[in-house]
Amino acid sequence: MARVNVLDERKIVEVPDGSLLVELDGKTNLLFACREGVCTTCLVDVVEGKENLEEPGEMESMTLSTLPPSTAKNPRLMCVSRIKGGEVKIKYVH
Ligand code: FES
């Protein structure tokens, strides 16, 4: 199992290795809307373990490229991010 450590909530959510992190919906306070990597509702800053996420796909990369650089150090969209295994620590941006 992989672990998502939601720092804002001091909560760790376990998901199967290889899961899309839309899995966090309903298990955390993170909100989701489009679920396609377009709207940035599910934007987070990956504080640790970014190497445990698969590289962003085309749509996520395009959306992230529209954000101002000050938005987050390691911005990712949880609806379309896939965790390989291990642990990631995230902070909410919104
Ligand atoms: S829910 Fe819209 S980008 Fe993730």
Question: Residue 79 pLDDT more than 90?
Answer: yes
H runs (alpha helix) in 1-94: 58-64
- pTM for this predicted structure: 0.96
Question: Residue 94 pLDDT more than 90?
Answer: no
Backbone angles phi, psi at 68, to 5 degrees: -65, 145
Q: Check: CB of residue 30 under 8 Å from CB of residue 42.
A: yes
Ligand 1 center to residue 74 CA distance, Å?
A: 16
What single-letter amino acid sits at 12? I
Q: Which two tokens stand for residue 88?
A: 């990631």
Question: Residue 38 pLDDT more than 90?
Answer: yes
Look at ligand 1, atom 3, and give the residue with the nearest C-alpha.
37
- Is there an atom of ligand 1 within 6 Å of 32 CB? yes
Q: Of the residues 20, 23, 35, which should be mutated to test ligand 1's pocket, given the most ligand atoms within 8 Å of the CB?
A: 35
Ligand 1 center to residue 29 CA distance, Å?
A: 14
Average pLDDT over residues 16-42: 97
What single-letter amino acid sits at 41? T
Q: What are the pLDDT digits (tens) for 51-63?
A: 999 999 999 999 9
* Average pLDDT value over all residues in the chain: 97
- Is there an atom of ligand 1 within 6 Å of 49 CB? no
Domains of the chain: 2-92 (3.10.20.30)
